[in-house]
């Protein structure tokens, strides 16, 4: 059959009213309940069988089936679902194919499976889908339900199919309904007083028109009679039915997730038990990692969830990195309140994972994403998708959320950090695989917004960089739903003229992989510490050396003499350049020139021998090198870092690594900012290694080393 050919709906009067449903049409029925949908889907199914159509039912919801199904059908589907050899969970009987798809597999996996079914069934297929509103119930957001429809409807249209979708009126935001209405070919409102008195009001009928098409229509399912409402009394009765049906359906300005959170807040304020609601919020907003879930539920209260919720832009999860940072801070708050009081307060924002797919869908990149998810296209289309993600645009609604973040931070520097589903959990660190982007955050609001949008796009595109793709492939994660949330943090530090940076920053490990001395207790942990931004401690460079501090014996180093101390010290520091609106490194001398003396004291060590030599010549010259010696000798700082990591390791029941900054005051005080925490990842190579003969050994290490050295 040809595209846009007329087909029979099973209700002749409806065919006349709508100038027929056509091949390619997606028909959305906006109903009060699913009983109303049955008045239209039953004749459609019956007619499709009579016409020998390829009739398919996509079953994914918990509501009763929309076509007749027997107990045997359910049992057969369950058998198919548990059969690892079947590509799809499908049975066929009485002229209809029934596919069962699991929406709990999350948006991408679910949507891809539905699309594979559609592709397999090909042209001219006739579909009945379960209620779209049940996707919102599973994913807890109108946004992702709308995204599913927005990518599925055009695919069905391309294959000249006909598809019926019910959706429950009043359950979704006006914005979500508007997007579905914009995408579909037919959008029909249904109201009813009784099984004999059903009203149909077409709100959208694509590419056809009549003078009565968009009037209300009265339908009697028992007789099949459809009548255009033109009589004054009948029209009044019709509008009374609409008003009676819709008067309790307020709150559609809010997304379904926002309405849910509002209801839970009210329940909490009334003093009612909300343990079940907290569990649901945790799973939807925080993580699905079972180990992390149990820890978060142990330490978080409803007030904590509300604080996070109020600082989010977009729905979905806040991602792994955000979870790790938030959990670490809660652990310290509960277990070591004395230390927590000395931590810098956290004022981060979170961009929910749903915005990642919304960005893909709204920029027409879904088809490219589908190609990239195939075995043949995994690397082939990865680069193309990476470039495309860098060049998309954001909707005005999303931009409003970004502006909210920028308004809060003013012109203080911020960093946009990756926080994907899988990041920083037990077993998968993704260390260094995804991007983080500093925003100097200077200029007009328009300029700052443009820079912020660019930063978000860079992080989104990094999901497709070759390093991330290879990591996911090696760790058997290439078929896993990996959504990207974002963590937006204020950069910790101080203003020094044209530069902005913290006194010091670095990374820490609760278990030290280095043992300079045989009697050293590795369980005390270690730090890598640098002056300025912590990027110099995280990213290895040839020209710079962070200070390595074994917390058991902090002043012990592998450096033997003063010459080596100079050589293996820090020569450049990373700063935010406020004048040139950039992140770059500068010589440590330039940094030392602009910081106050009290900060300089904790960062440098004097070369007393060289200074004495100059004094003997009659010159007073300060000869220093940066190795954070003052912090190393500050026992309070060493003890605090030791306690932070020990407390986190105990709570995690696993070694951890952290990222942090340190800012010092005139009175020798200091504040630590805990930026990140994750289970410490150790690479394991199970292959047997054949040891070479001694003559081929270049160097020999006892105990352990960091990484695959």
Instruction: List the structure tokens of 73.
Output: 């059908």
Class of domain 6-196+216-246: alpha beta
The dihedrals phi and psi of 527, each to the nearest 5 degrees, come to -125, 145
Fold of the CATH domain 495-679 = D-amino Acid Aminotransferase; Chain A, domain 1 (3.30.470)
Sign of the dihedral defined by the CA atoms of residues 462, 466, 471, 476, in that order: positive
Distances (CA, A) of 15 to 6, 128, 184, 185, 571: 9, 18, 18, 15, 79
- The predicted structure's pLDDT at residue 540: 67
3-class DSSP assignment, residue 626: strand
pLDDT of residue 703 exceeding 60, the answer is no
CATH number attached to the domain at 273-491: 3.30.1490.20
Confidence of residue 252 (pLDDT cuts 50, 70, 90): low
Tell which wins on pLDDT, 540 or 709: 540
pLDDT of residue 688 exceeding 70, the answer is no
End-to-end CA distance of the chain: 65
Q: What CA–CA distance (Å, rounded) separates 508 from 537?
A: 10
* Buried b or exposed e, range 57-74, using 16+ CB within 10 angstroms: bbbbbeeeebbebeeebe
Confidence of residue 163 (pLDDT cuts 50, 70, 90): very high
Cα 155 from chain centroid (whole Å): 25
pLDDT digits (tens, 9 = 90+) for 533-586: 999 988 766 778 999 999 999 988 878 788 888 888 999 999 999 999 999 999
Q: Which residues belong to CATH 3.30.1490.20 in the chain?
A: 273-491
pLDDT digits (tens, 9 = 90+) for 20-30: 999 999 999 99
pLDDT digits (tens, 9 = 90+) for 617-636: 888 888 888 999 999 999 99
- The predicted structure's pLDDT at residue 316: 92
pLDDT of residue 708 exceeding 50, the answer is no
Helix (H) or strand (E) holding 436, with range, is strand 436-439
Confidence of residue 519 (pLDDT cuts 50, 70, 90): confident
Q: Label residue 617 exposed, middle or buried (CB < 10 Å: 0-12, 13-18, 19+).
A: exposed
Confidence of residue 709 (pLDDT cuts 50, 70, 90): very low
Query: Are the CB atoms for 589 and 598 separated by under 8 Å?
Result: no
Instruction: Tell me the range of 62-76, 118-132, 506-520, 528-542 where mean pLDDT is highest.
Output: 118-132
User: What percent of the chain has a predicted confidence (pLDDT) above 70?
Assistant: 93
Q: Which residues belong to CATH 3.40.50.300 in the chain?
A: 6-196+216-246
Confidence of residue 188 (pLDDT cuts 50, 70, 90): very high
Q: What CA–CA distance (Å, rounded) separates 193 from 267?
A: 33
pLDDT digits (tens, 9 = 90+) for 330-368: 999 999 999 999 999 999 999 999 999 999 999 999 999
The pLDDT of 83-98, averaged and rounded, is 91
Mean pLDDT of the chain: 91
- Which residues partner with 506 through β-bridges? 529, 660
Q: How many CB atoms lie within 10 A of CB 144?
A: 29
Of the candidates 173, 172, 484, 182, which has an alpha carbon nearest to the alpha carbon of residue 357?
Answer: 484
- The predicted structure's pLDDT at residue 250: 52
- The predicted structure's pLDDT at residue 117: 97
- The predicted structure's pLDDT at residue 639: 97
- The predicted structure's pLDDT at residue 694: 65
Q: How many CB atoms lie within 10 A of CB 591?
A: 24
Q: What CA–CA distance (Å, rounded) separates 427 from 434?
A: 16
Which residues are CB-contacts of 486 (< 8 A; sequence separation ≥ 6)? Answer: 319, 350, 351, 416, 417, 418, 419, 456, 459
- The predicted structure's pLDDT at residue 51: 97
- The predicted structure's pLDDT at residue 241: 84
Query: Are the CB atoms for 289 and 320 separated by under 8 Å?
Result: yes
Task: Specify the pairing of strand 54-59 against strand 186-194.
Answer: unpaired
């Amino acid at each position: 059959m040809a595209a846009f050919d007329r087909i029979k709906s099973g209700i002749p009067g409806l065919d006349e009213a709508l100038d027929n449903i056509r091949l390619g049409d997606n028909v959305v029925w906006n109903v009060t309940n699913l009983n109303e949908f049955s008045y239209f889907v039953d004749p459609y199914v019956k007619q499709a069988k009579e016409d020998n159509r390829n009739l398919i039912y996509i079953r994914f919801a918990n509501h009763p089936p929309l076509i007749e199904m027997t107990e045997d059908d359910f049992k057969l589907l369950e058998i198919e679902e548990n059969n690892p050899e079947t590509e799809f969970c499908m049975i066929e009987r009485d002229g209809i194919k029934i596919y069962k798809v699991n929406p709990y597999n999350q948006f991408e996996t679910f949507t891809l499976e539905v699309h594979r079914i559609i592709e397999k069934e090909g042209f001219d297929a006739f579909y009945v889908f379960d209620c779209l509103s049940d996707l919102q119930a599973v994913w807890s957001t109108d946004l992702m339900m709308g995204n599913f429809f927005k990518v599925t409807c055009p695919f069905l249209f391309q294959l000249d199919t006909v598809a019926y979708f019910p959706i429950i009126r009043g359950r979704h935001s006006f914005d979500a309904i508007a997007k579905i209405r914009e995408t579909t070919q037919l959008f029909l409102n249904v109201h009813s007083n009784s099984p004999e008195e059903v009203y149909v009001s077409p709100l959208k009928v694509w590419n056809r028109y009549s003078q009565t098409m968009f009037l209300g229509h009265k339908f009697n399912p028992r007789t099949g009679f459809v009548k255009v409402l033109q009589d004054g009394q009948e029209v009044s009765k019709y509008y009374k039915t609409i008003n009676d049906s819709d008067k309790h359906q307020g709150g559609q300005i809010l997304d379904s997730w926002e309405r849910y959170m509002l209801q839970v807040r009210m329940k909490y304020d009334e003093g009612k038990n909300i343990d079940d609601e907290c569990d649901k919020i945790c799973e939807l907003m925080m993580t699905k990692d079972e180990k992390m879930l149990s820890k978060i539920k142990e330490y978080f209260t409803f007030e904590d969830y509300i604080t996070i919720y109020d600082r989010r832009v977009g729905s979905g999860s806040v991602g792994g990195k955000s979870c790790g940072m938030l959990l670490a801070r809660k652990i310290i708050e509960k277990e070591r309140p004395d230390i927590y009081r000395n931590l810098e307060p956290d004022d981060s924002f979170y961009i929910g994972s749903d915005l990642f797919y919304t960005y893909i869908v709204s920029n027409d990149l879904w088809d490219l994403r589908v190609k990239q998810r195939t075995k043949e296209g995994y690397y082939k289309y990865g680069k193309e998708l990476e470039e495309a993600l860098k060049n998309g645009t954001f909707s005005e609604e999303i931009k409003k959320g970004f502006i909210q973040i920028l308004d809060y931070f003013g012109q203080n520097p911020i960093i946009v950090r990756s926080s994907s589903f899988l990041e920083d959990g037990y077993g998968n660190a993704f260390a260094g695989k995804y991007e983080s982007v500093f925003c100097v955050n200077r200029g007009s609001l328009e300029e700052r917004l443009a820079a912020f949008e660019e930063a978000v796009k860079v992080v989104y595109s990094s999901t497709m960089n070759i390093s991330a793709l290879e990591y996911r492939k090696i760790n058997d994660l290439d078929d896993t739903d990996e959504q990207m949330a974002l963590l937006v943090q204020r950069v910790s530090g101080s203003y020094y003229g044209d530069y902005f940076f913290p006194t010091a920053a670095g990374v820490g490990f609760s278990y030290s992989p280095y043992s300079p001395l045989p009697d050293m207790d590795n369980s005390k942990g270690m730090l890598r510490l640098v002056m300025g931004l912590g990027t110099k401690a995280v990213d290895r460079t040839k020209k710079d050396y962070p200070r390595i501090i074994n917390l058991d014996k902090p002043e012990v180093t592998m450096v033997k003499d003063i010459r080596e101390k100079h050589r293996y010290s820090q020569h450049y520091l990373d700063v935010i350049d406020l004048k040139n609106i950039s992140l770059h490194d500068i010589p440590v001398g330039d940094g030392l020139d602009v910081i106050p003396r009290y900060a300089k004291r904790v960062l440098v060590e004097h070369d007393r021998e060289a200074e004495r030599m100059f004094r003997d010549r009659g010159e007073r010259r300060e000869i220093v090198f940066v190795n954070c010696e003052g912090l190393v000798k500050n026992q309070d700082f060493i003890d605090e870092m030791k306690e932070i990591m020990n407390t986190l390791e105990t709570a995690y029941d696993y070694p951890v690594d952290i990222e942090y900054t340190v800012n010092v005051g005139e009175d020798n005080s200091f504040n630590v900012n805990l930026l990140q925490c994750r289970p410490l990842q150790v690479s394991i190579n199970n292959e047997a290694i054949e040891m070479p003969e001694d003559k081929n050994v270049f160097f020999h290490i006892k105990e352990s080393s960091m990484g695959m050295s």
